[in-house]
Amino acid sequence: MNRIFLILIIIGVPVSVVGSFLHWPPILMFILDCVTIVGLASFMGRATESLAIVAGPSIGGLLNATFGNAVELIISIFAIKAGLINVVLASITGSIIGNLLLVGGLSFFVGGLKYKRQRFNIYEARHNAGMLIFAIVVSFVFPLIFSMELGEADAKILSIGISIVMIIIYLAALFFKLVTHRGVYKQSADEAEHDGEEEPEWSAWKAITVLAGATIAVGYISENLVHTFEPVAKSFGWTELFIGVIIVAIVGNAAEHASAILMAYKNRMTVTVEIAIGSTLQIAMFVAPLLVLLSLAFPTFMPLIFSVPELIVMILAVFLTIAITNDGDTNWFEGAILLAAYLIMGFGFFLL
Amino acid sequence: MNRIFLILIIIGVPVSVVGSFLHWPPILMFILDCVTIVGLASFMGRATESLAIVAGPSIGGLLNATFGNAVELIISIFAIKAGLINVVLASITGSIIGNLLLVGGLSFFVGGLKYKRQRFNIYEARHNAGMLIFAIVVSFVFPLIFSMELGEADAKILSIGISIVMIIIYLAALFFKLVTHRGVYKQSADEAEHDGEEEPEWSAWKAITVLAGATIAVGYISENLVHTFEPVAKSFGWTELFIGVIIVAIVGNAAEHASAILMAYKNRMTVTVEIAIGSTLQIAMFVAPLLVLLSLAFPTFMPLIFSVPELIVMILAVFLTIAITNDGDTNWFEGAILLAAYLIMGFGFFLL
Amino acid sequence: MNRIFLILIIIGVPVSVVGSFLHWPPILMFILDCVTIVGLASFMGRATESLAIVAGPSIGGLLNATFGNAVELIISIFAIKAGLINVVLASITGSIIGNLLLVGGLSFFVGGLKYKRQRFNIYEARHNAGMLIFAIVVSFVFPLIFSMELGEADAKILSIGISIVMIIIYLAALFFKLVTHRGVYKQSADEAEHDGEEEPEWSAWKAITVLAGATIAVGYISENLVHTFEPVAKSFGWTELFIGVIIVAIVGNAAEHASAILMAYKNRMTVTVEIAIGSTLQIAMFVAPLLVLLSLAFPTFMPLIFSVPELIVMILAVFLTIAITNDGDTNWFEGAILLAAYLIMGFGFFLL
C-alpha cells in the first residue's frame, strides 16, 4: 500500500503544481489535489511514527499528538485565510464523526467478519468516554448556548477562553498518559508486549526530511485546494457544508483510516480504538481550539460555534460511540450500527 | 389469565361488530374495541410464541420479531389510512416509553418486592444500549434536525432513506442474534437451561388458524376504533396526543406487559428485559420505519418526524433505562424511578 | 479548621446584626453575611452529624438527608419571599454544578495528587447515575418542554405534580438505602469497618441547641443577605444569575466542600462521592421541589422551570460526572476535567 501512496505523490505533486499554474478546471484540480494530499498525509504519518519511536514513548507520544492531524490543520489554516470559516467548522465536524463512525465502524465491521468478539483495553475506553463528553459535549455546546444571549465581543472572549482551557486539558491528558500514569491502566501483559516490538521505519534525519518536504507540499496544495471548493460545490450541486463534512474530512484522514482498519483485521483492537478515538480527541481538544486561536491572526475570527445540526451530529456520534465501546468488546454488528449512523448523517448533510 | 382473555374475545368480537353496525355511541365503542383488542392481542402473542417454538430458534426469532407488535402495526395502518398521522406518531412514542418505563418499571418493582436483587444478562443489556441509542436517539433526532432546514420533498426523501437503513439494521440485528452470534453472549449455563424447556402450547396449524383469525378481527375492530378517537377525545377533554401516547400504546401491548411482569415475578429477568427492551427496539427499528414506507401507499405520507416533546420524552426514557439497566442488576427502587418517570411524562401529555 | 469557623461566628454574627441596624454599605454587608454563613453552616453540619450518629443509621440518615442543605433552604426561602425567583433557580443550578464539578473535581484532583488510583463503591456510583438522570435530566427538562406549549395555570399544576413525585421518590430512595437495602450493595469489609468507628462529637442536647441557634442566626442573616444581591450585582457589574450560580452556591456549601476534599485526601473516596453526589441529589430531589411547594405560601410562585442555559449546564454536568465516576476509579486527571468544566461554565455565567 505504501507503494501506491508513493506513486500518488511522485505523479500528484508535480502535476498539481503544473495544473495550478495553467489554471486547469477546478473540478480536475480538486480531484488531483485531494488525491495528492492523501498520499502526502500517508508519508507524514509514517515520518511522525518513525520519529516517535526514535524519541521514546514520552516525547514520541507528544509528537504523535501534535503532528497526527497536521494535514487537517494545514488545510484548515488556508481555509481560514480564505475566509471559509464555515467550511473549517464543517471539516472539524466531519473529522470527528468520520473518525468515530466511519473509521470505528469500518474497523469493527471488518475485524468482526474475521473474529467473533474483539476486545480492547476497557480502562482506555472509559477514560476516553470522559474526555469525549468533556471535549465535544461540554466544550462545544457551551459557546453556542451562551452566545445566543451574548454580544459578539463577549462571545469572542468566551471562545478564546474555552479554547485555552481545552488546550491545557489536552496537554494535561498527555502528561497523564505519558508521564504520571504510563502503564498504570494496562490491561494485560499481552498488550505491553506489542509495545516493545516496534522499530522505526526511517532514521531520524530521513523522517525529519520527509516531514518537512511533505508539510511544504501539503501547504502549497492546500492553498490551491481551498479555492476550488466554491466552483466544485456549484458544479456538483453540493453545499460547501457537504464538502467540509464529508470530502475534506475523508481526504485529511484517509491514510490513518486505512491503518486503523488494518489493525482491526490483525485483531489489535486497542491500537484501532486509539487511532479512531485518539484522533477524534486530538481534533476536538487540540486542532479545533488551536484554529480558533490562530484565526486571531487572520482577518476573519473563527468562533468555536458550530451550527445546530453539526453540534447535534457530533453529540450523537459521541453517545453512540460510548454506548458501543463501553464494554470493551466489539463485533461486526456494532460496526454496522456505526456505519449506518454515518450513512444517515452523510445523507442528511448531502441533502442540506 | 388466559381464560379472561378468551372470555373478552368471545363476548367482545361479536358485540363490537354489532355495535359498529348499530352506530352505538363512540365512547362505548371505544371502550369495547380497546378491551376486545387486548384479548385478541393476547391470543396473537400465544399463537406467535407457539409457531416460534415449532419453527426453531432462527425462524422463530424472526417470527417473534415480525409479529410481536402486529396489533400496533394494524391499528397504525388504519390510523394512517384515516389520515391520523399525529396519532400514529404519538402511539409509537407511547409504545416506546410504555415498554421502557411502564413495563420495565412495573416488572422491576414487582420483582423487586419479592427478590432483593435481580440480575439479567449484562451483555444483552449493553448490546441493547447501543441499539436504543442508534434507533431512538440517532435515527429519530436526525429527520427533525435536518427537516428544519430542508424543503418538504427533501425531508420526505430523508425519512424514506433513514427508514430503509433502519429496517436493514433491524434485520442485521436479527441475523447477528439468531445466526452469527447465537449463544455467544450467554452469561451462564443457568440461562441456557431455561431455553430448552419450552414446549409449544398449540400445534402449528392451530397457531396459524388463531393468528389468521385474530389478525382479521383486530383489523376489523381497529378500523372502527380509529374513528372513535376524535369524538372520545372531545368528550373527555383529552388531546388526540394523549389518546395516542397513553391509551393506544397500552391497549396494543397489554398482554405482553402482563407476561413481562409475570416473568419478573418468577425472577426470569433476562426474559423480562427481552420483552421490555426488545419490544421497544422492534417498534422503533421495524414498526416505525415500516409504517413510514407503507404510508407511501396512502394519500397522507407519514414522515419520520416526531414533535419536540415526543422526541425528548423518548430520548429521556432511553437514557434513564440505560442508566438503570447498565449494571445488569435491578431492585424495587429502580422500578419505582422508571414508574415515576412514566407518571411525570403521562401527566405532561395529559395536560398538553 | 473548626476553630476558624468558630471565630467566624463569634465575630460575624454580632457584627452582621449591628451592621444591618446601622445600614452599612451593601457590599460590606454582603461579604460579612457570606462569611458568617459559611461559619454557621459548618456548625449546623457538625450538629446534624452528631445527632445522626446518636440516632442510629436509619433516623440518622433521614436527619442528614433533611438538614444537610438546610442553609441553602433557608437562604432560598428568604429569596423567594423577596420575589427573587430567578436567583433561587440560579442558586439551585449553582449548587448542583458546584457539588458535581467543583467539589467532585477538587476532591478527585487533590486526592489524585497523593494516590495514583482511588476507588469507591461502584454500585453506589451506578445507583447514583440512575438517580441523577431521573432527578436532573428527566424531572427538570419536562416542565420546560411542556410549559412551552402549556398555559400558565397548567404549567403551575405540572410543576406542583412533578415536585410531589420527586419528593416521594426521594423518600423512597432513603427508605431503600436505610431500610430495605442497607448494606446490600457494600463492596468490601473495609468499607463496613469505617462505618462503625464514628463517635458523636457532641451530645444530643448540645447538638440540638447548636442546630436551633445556628438555624435562627442563618435565617436572620439570610434575610439581610438577599437584599444586598441587587446593589452588589450593580456595583461589580455582575448579573444576579452569576451571584446565584456561583456565590450563593459556594457560600451555602463551603463547609461541606471542605470535608469532601479532606476525605479524598484521606483516600476515603466513598464518603467523598457520597457528599458530592449525595448533596446534589438532595438539592435536586428534595430542596428544589420543596421550595416549589413552599413558594405556594408566598406571593410569587416559583415554577420548576429553569432557563435553557441553566438546564443545559446541569445536564452536561450530570453526563460528565457519570462518564467520570462510572468505573468507580478516579485520578488527578479526571478531577482536572471536572474543574475545567466548572471553570468554563462559571466563565459563561460571568459573561452572561
Spell out which chain C residues touch chain B, with contact meaning CB-CB distance below 8 angstroms. Answer: 123, 126, 129-134, 137-139, 141-142, 145-146, 149-150, 154, 157-158, 161-162, 165-166, 168-169, 172-173, 176, 180-181, 184, 322
What whole-number distance in Å separates Cα of residue B116 and Cα of residue C181?
7
- Amino acid (one-letter) located at A75: I
Lowest mean pLDDT, pick from A279-283, B58-62, B312-316, C291-295: B58-62
Of B94, B126, B93, which is closest to residue B246 (Cα–Cα)?
B94
Q: Residue A221 to residues A40, A48, B270: CA-CA distances in angstroms?
A: 10, 20, 57
How far apart are the CA of A347 and the nearest CA of chain B, in angstroms? 7
- C117 chain-A contacts, CB cut-off 8 A: 184
Instruction: Give C57-79 pLDDT, tens digit per residue.
Output: 777 777 776 777 888 888 899 88
Query: Per the CB < 8 Å rule, is A312 touching B145?
Result: yes
Q: Are C111 and C265 in contact (CB under 8 A)?
A: yes
Average pLDDT for residues C321-350, to the nearest whole number?
89
pLDDT digits (tens, 9 = 90+) for B297-307: 999 899 999 98
Map grid coordinates 447498565 to a residue: B326
Query: Which segments within chain A are labelled E, that is strand?
Result: 118-119, 329-330
CA distance C227 to chain B (A): 36
Give the CA count within 13 Å in the CB-facing half-sphere of B96: 33
pLDDT, mean of residues B102-121: 88
Q: Which residue in chain C has the smallest CA separation from B101?
A: C134
Region C262-287: mean pLDDT is 85
**How do residues B79-110 score in pLDDT, each as one tens digit?**
899 888 988 999 899 989 998 999 899 999 99
For chain A, which residues score pLDDT lower than 70?
A: 65, 185-198
* Chain A CA closest to residue C116: A181
User: What are the chain C neighbours of B323 within 8 Å (beta carbons)?
Assistant: 126, 129-130, 132-133, 322
Contact call for A137 and C351, based on CB within 8 A: no
pLDDT at C90 over 80: yes
Q: Which amino acid is at C195?
A: D
- In this complex, how many residue pairs, one in chain A and one in chain C, have their CB atoms less than 8 Å apart? 81
Residue type, A302: M
> Strand A329-330 to strand A118-119: parallel, antiparallel, or no bridges (unpaired)?
antiparallel
Beta carbons of C324 and A137 less than 8 Å apart: no
Q: Searching chain B, which residue's CA lies closest to the CA of residue A332?
A: B176
Give the whole-number percent of chain B exceeding pLDDT 90: 25
Considering only alpha carbons, which residue of chain B is nearest residue C322?
B323
Rounded to an integer, the average pLDDT of B280-301 is 93
Strand partners, B290: none
Q: Position B181: which residue type?
A: H
Alpha-carbon distances of C194 from A343, B140, C154, C182, C198, rounded to whole Å: 53, 48, 49, 15, 8
Residue type, C50: S
Region C82-88 average pLDDT: 88
The minimum CA-CA distance between B132 and chain A, rounded to whole Å, is 9
User: A329 forms bridges with which residues in the sheet?
Assistant: A119
Contact C327 A123 (CB under 8 A): yes
pLDDT at C295: 94
- State yes or no: pLDDT of C192 exceeds 70: no
Q: Is B237 left (phi over 0), alpha (psi -120 to 50) or beta?
A: left
Check whether C320 has a pLDDT greater than 90: yes
Quick one: CA dihedral C93, C95, C100, C101, positive or negative? positive
Interfacial residues of A (vs C; Cβ cutoff 8 Å)? 123, 126, 129-134, 137-139, 141-142, 145-146, 149-150, 154, 157-158, 161-162, 165-166, 168-169, 172-173, 176, 180-181, 184, 322
- Region C91-116: mean pLDDT is 90
User: And the C-alpha cell for C193?
Assistant: 469497618
Per-residue model confidence (pLDDT) at position A192: 47
How far is residue C38's CA from residue B346's CA, in Å, rounded to a whole number? 42
**DSSP label at residue A118:** E
Highest mean pLDDT pick, B122-126, B172-176, C223-227, C315-319: C315-319
* Gap from B76 CA to chain C (nearest CA, Å): 25
What tens digit of pLDDT does each residue of A265-279 get?
888 887 788 888 888
Distance of CA B278 to the CA centre of its chain: 9
C158 → chain B, closest CA residue = B348
Picking from B141, B169, B184, the nearest residue to A116 by CB comes out as: B184
Query: Which CATH code fits A24-351?
Result: 1.20.1420.30
Please report the pLDDT score of residue A315 as a whole number: 94
Q: Is ipTM > 0.85 here?
A: yes
DSSP 8-state symbol, B119: E
**For residue A234, what is the enclosing H or E element?**
helix A204-236
In the three-class reduction of DSSP (H, G, I as helix; E, B as strand; rest coil), residue B233 is classed as helix
Asked whether the beta carbons of A51 and A63 are under 8 A apart, the reply is yes
Q: Are strands A118-119 and C329-330 parallel, antiparallel or unpaired?
A: unpaired
Q: Has residue B196 got a pLDDT over 70? A: no
- Read off the pLDDT of each residue in B7-34 and give the average, rounded to a whole number: 88
Integer-rounded Cα radius of gyration of chain A: 20
Per-residue model confidence (pLDDT) at position B47: 86
Nearest-CA distance A176 → chain C (Å): 7
Residue pair B111/B153 in contact by the 8 Å Cβ criterion? no
Q: What is the pLDDT of residues C46-55, one digit of tens each?
A: 888 888 888 7
Residue A163 CB neighbour total at 10 angstroms: 25
- Residue-wise DSSP of B66-87: HHTTHHHHHHHHHHHHTT-HHH
Q: Write the CA distances from C64 to A212, C61, C70, integer angstroms.
A: 64, 5, 10
Average pLDDT, whole number, for chain B?
A: 85
Chain B residues near residue C160 by CB distance under 8 angstroms: none
Spatial neighbors of B39 by CB under 8 A, at least 6 apart, are: B4, B5, B6, B7, B8, B9, B12
Q: How confident is the model at residue B292 (pLDDT cuts 50, 70, 90)?
A: very high
The residue count of chain A comes to: 352
Cα torsion B219, B220, B225, B226 to 10°: value is 60
pLDDT, one tens digit per residue, over B211-270 is 899 889 988 888 888 888 888 888 888 877 788 788 778 887 777 788 788 888 888 887
Model confidence at C332, in pLDDT bands (50, 70, 90)? very high
To test the contact with chain C by mutation, choose from B316, B318, B349 the residue with the greatest count of C C-beta atoms within 10 A, namely: B316
> Per residue, what are the HEC states of chain C?
CHHHHHHHHHHHHHHHHHHHHHCCCHHHHHHHHHHHHHHHHHHHHHHHHHHHHHHCHHHHHHHHHHHCCHHHHHHHHHHHHCCCHHHHHHHHHHHHHHHHHHHHHHHHHHHHHHCCCEECCHHHHHHHHHHHHHHHHHHHHHHHHHHCCCCHHHHHHHHHHHHHHHHHHHHHHHHHHHHHCCCCCCCCHHHHHHHHCCCCCCCHHHHHHHHHHHHHHHHHHHHHHHHHHHHHHHHHCCCHHHHHHHHHHHHHHHHHHHHHHHHHHCCCHHHHHHHHHHHHHHHHHHHHHHHHHHHHHCCCCCCCCCCHHHHHHHHHHHHHHHHHHCCCEECHHHHHHHHHHHHHHHHHHHHC
For residue B141, which residues of chain A lie inside 8 Å, CB to CB?
312, 316
Residue of A nearest to B127 (CA): A324
Do the Cβ atoms of B337 and C129 come within 8 Å?
Answer: no
Whether the CB-CB separation of A41 and A218 falls below 8 Å is answered with yes
C-alpha cell belonging to residue C104: 467532585
- Summarised one tens digit per residue, pLDDT across range B318-348 is 999 998 888 788 889 999 999 999 999 888 8
* C-alpha span between A123 and A328 (Å, rounded): 8
- A105 neighbors A335 (Cβ within 8 angstroms): yes
How far apart, in whole angstroms, are the C-alpha atoms of residue C352 and residue C350? Answer: 6
Element (H, E) at B165: helix B152-175
**Cα of A133 to nearest chain B Cα, Å:** 15
Q: Other CB atoms closer than 10 Å to residue B352's CB: what's the count?
A: 18
Compare CB distances from A320 to B134, B145, B165 and report the shortest one's residue: B134
List chains adjacent to chain C, taking adjacency as at least 3 C-beta pairs closer than 8 Å.
A, B
How far is the C-alpha of B214 from the C-alpha of B12, rounded, in Å? 12
d(CA B208, CA B214): 10
Place of cell 405540572: C158
Confidence of residue C23 (pLDDT cuts 50, 70, 90): confident
pTM to 2 decimal places:
0.90
How many other C-beta atoms lie within 10 A of the C-beta of residue A89? Answer: 25
Cell numbers at C56, concatenated: 442510629
- Contacting chains of A (3 CB pairs or more, <8 Å) are B, C
Contact C116/A181, CB-based, under 8 Å? Answer: yes
Picking from A131, A133, A184, the nearest residue to C319 by CB comes out as A133
Best interface-test mutation with A: which of C86, C315, C319 has the largest number of A CBs within 10 A?
A: C319
